[in-house]
């Protein structure tokens, strides 16, 4: 819990600071006087003044956001501003300068994401190689012609080396529900297979969509990653690190085979052929009966043995040179930004469940999980949330940066700013939209928390 909380606070403080720093630096570059730079809202915990303008830097009690307060006639009133400072008021700046100051916050988030992805690409990480297990006979992957041991080399023309890159590149085709062109290396043979995605049920992006299509990580052995104390697995003598060669008399080549067999046999013995430290063993385990928690399976009884089941697979060192690291970071940031917008658009159109919207509780959970995996996972999490923050702020909703850009666009068309009454009404509507989104996100977070 402490690690999760710290990881969340570090992430939130960093991302908000970078966003507001973008606004601040742009304002200073344009000659606008900045009165306050605040990370967080509410009462100030710490504050100090810096620079010739005596800008107040503040760390506030509520860390869910921040702001940069600039000299502005609309807020302070022209009569309250010394005449010498009026040219430095935000409201006195040209339309282009005001738009530049507003857009610089989201831009800073995108630059941060590029930097984080670039560091990951440059330092390199070990990731599971893009090798597939034998697909189930009735799956879309089997129908497309995939076989066990195939190494995936391209997805829709883009090079992939690791399983994580495969997942990322598949998303575009899944959103469009179109066939995905997959380049495959099969021994010395090079093939291009077309994998249909229209068989995916609605909402499958929330789960393991590659497995549903029949693509699972292969090139290794099914491995027991962990055993829960007092579980059926422990009672049977199964240990973490055991490799399962066969189950129920049939060879096991992928984790889902073993998982499905266990789920299908509550209260019935399942024979496992295991290799432990080079020695073959025969173990019989009796899965405990439990209620299924999967969507669409409410009320069904399944088997569980209380073990984490994964795979020991071939790994690949994914790293690039400085220029390619930066280029790939830019492309990935762009792809994830477009993906975020398209996901939001599909939620608005009713083509995707609003359950995909996450709030602070889910973000804190992901922060804690990624920090426990390792530095590279945490940096990747920071990059993804930074992109999401940048995209969210560019939405054309009043009170967000994108809403202000809409105001400036209308001002350019009309030749004059919107009236105070129009601004007031649209700001209230914008607050209502943001409040509704936050309520839905928090409801989703609590539903996941209670459901788990």
Residue 315 bridge partners (DSSP): 128
Burial bucket for residue 370 (CB in 10 Å: 0-12, 13-18, 19+): buried
Handedness of CA 331, 332, 336, 342 (dihedral sign): positive
Diameter over CA atoms, the chain: 88
Helix (H, G, I), strand (E, B) or coil at 290: strand
C-alpha 212/C-alpha 241 separation (Å) is: 27
Q: What count of other Cβ atoms lies within 10 Å of the Cβ of residue 230?
A: 9
DSSP β-ladder status, 243-247 and 315-318? unpaired
Which residue is catalytic, options 20, 243, 324, 351? 20
Answer for the pair 313, 217: CB distance below 8 angstroms, yes or no: yes
CA-derived radius of gyration, the chain = 27
Per DSSP, the three-state class of 357 is coil
Distance CA 446, CA 452 (A): 10
Query: 118: which 2 tokens?
Result: 């670039």
344 contact partners, CB below 8 Å, separation of at least 6: 391, 395
CB 431 within 8 A of CB 399: yes
Residues whose CB is less than 8 angstroms from the CB of residue 283 and which lie 6 or more positions away in sequence, other chains included? 236, 237, 238, 271, 272, 274
Residue with tokens 């330092």: 123
Write the DSSP symbol of residue 200: S
* Distance between start and end Cα atoms, the chain: 16
- For residues 364 and 380, give the distance between their C-alpha atoms in angstroms, rounded to a whole number: 14
Q: Are 285 and 305 in contact (CB under 8 A)?
A: yes
3-state secondary structure of 282: strand
Q: Is 56 considered catalytic here?
A: no
- Measured CA to CA, the distance from residue 313 to residue 403 in angstroms comes to 48
Dihedral sign from CA coordinates of 183, 185, 186, 190:
positive
The catalytic residues are 20
């Amino acid at each position: 819990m402490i690690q999760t909380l710290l990881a969340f606070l570090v992430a939130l403080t960093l991302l908000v600071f970078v966003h507001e720093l973008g606004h601040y630096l742009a304002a200073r570059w344009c000659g606008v006087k900045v009165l306050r730079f605040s990370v967080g809202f509410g009462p100030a915990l710490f504050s100090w003044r810096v620079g010739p303008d005596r800008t107040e830097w503040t760390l506030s009690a509520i860390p869910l956001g921040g702001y940069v307060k600039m000299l502005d006639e609309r807020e302070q009133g022209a009569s309250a501003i010394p005449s010498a400072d009026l040219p430095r008021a935000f409201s006195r700046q040209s339309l282009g300068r005001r738009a530049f100051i507003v857009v610089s916050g989201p831009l800073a988030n995108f630059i941060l994401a590029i930097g984080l992805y670039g560091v990951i690409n440059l330092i390199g990480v070990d990731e599971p190689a893009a090798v597939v297990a034998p697909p189930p006979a009735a799956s879309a992957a089997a129908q497309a012609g995939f076989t066990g041991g195939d190494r995936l080399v391209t997805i829709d023309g883009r090079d992939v080396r690791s399983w994580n890159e495969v997942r990322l590149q598949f998303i575009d085709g899944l959103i469009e529900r179109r066939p995905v062109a997959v380049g495959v290396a099969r021994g010395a043979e090079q093939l291009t297979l077309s994998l249909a995605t229209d068989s995916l049920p609605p909402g499958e992006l929330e789960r393991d969509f590659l497995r549903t299509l029949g693509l699972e990580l292969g090139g290794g052995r099914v491995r027991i990653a962990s055993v829960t104390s007092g579980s059926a697995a422990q009672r049977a003598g199964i240990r973490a690190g055991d490799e399962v060669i066969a189950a129920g008399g049939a060879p096991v080549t992928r984790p889902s085979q073993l998982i499905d067999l266990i789920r299908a046999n509550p209260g019935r013995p399942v024979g496992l052929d295991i290799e432990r430290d080079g020695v073959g063993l025969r173990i019989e385990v009796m899965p405990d009966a439990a209620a299924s928690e999967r969507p669409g399976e409410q009320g069904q009884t399944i088997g569980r043995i209380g073990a984490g089941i994964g795979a020991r697979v071939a790994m690949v060192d994914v790293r690039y040179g400085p220029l390619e690291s930066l280029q790939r970071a830019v492309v990935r940031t762009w792809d994830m930004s477009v993906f975020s917008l398209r996901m939001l658009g599909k939620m608005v159109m009713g083509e995707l469940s609003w359950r995909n919207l996450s709030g602070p509780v889910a973000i804190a959970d992901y922060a804690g999980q990624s920090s426990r995996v390792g530095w590279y996972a945490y940096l990747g999490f920071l990059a993804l949330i930074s992109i999401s923050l940048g995209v969210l702020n560019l939405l054309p909703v009043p009170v967000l940066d994108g809403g202000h850009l809409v105001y400036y666009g209308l001002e350019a068309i009309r030749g004059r700013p919107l009236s105070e009454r129009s601004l007031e009404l649209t700001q209230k509507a914008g607050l209502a939209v943001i409040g509704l989104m936050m309520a839905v996100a928090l409801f989703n977070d609590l539903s996941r928390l209670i459901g788990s």
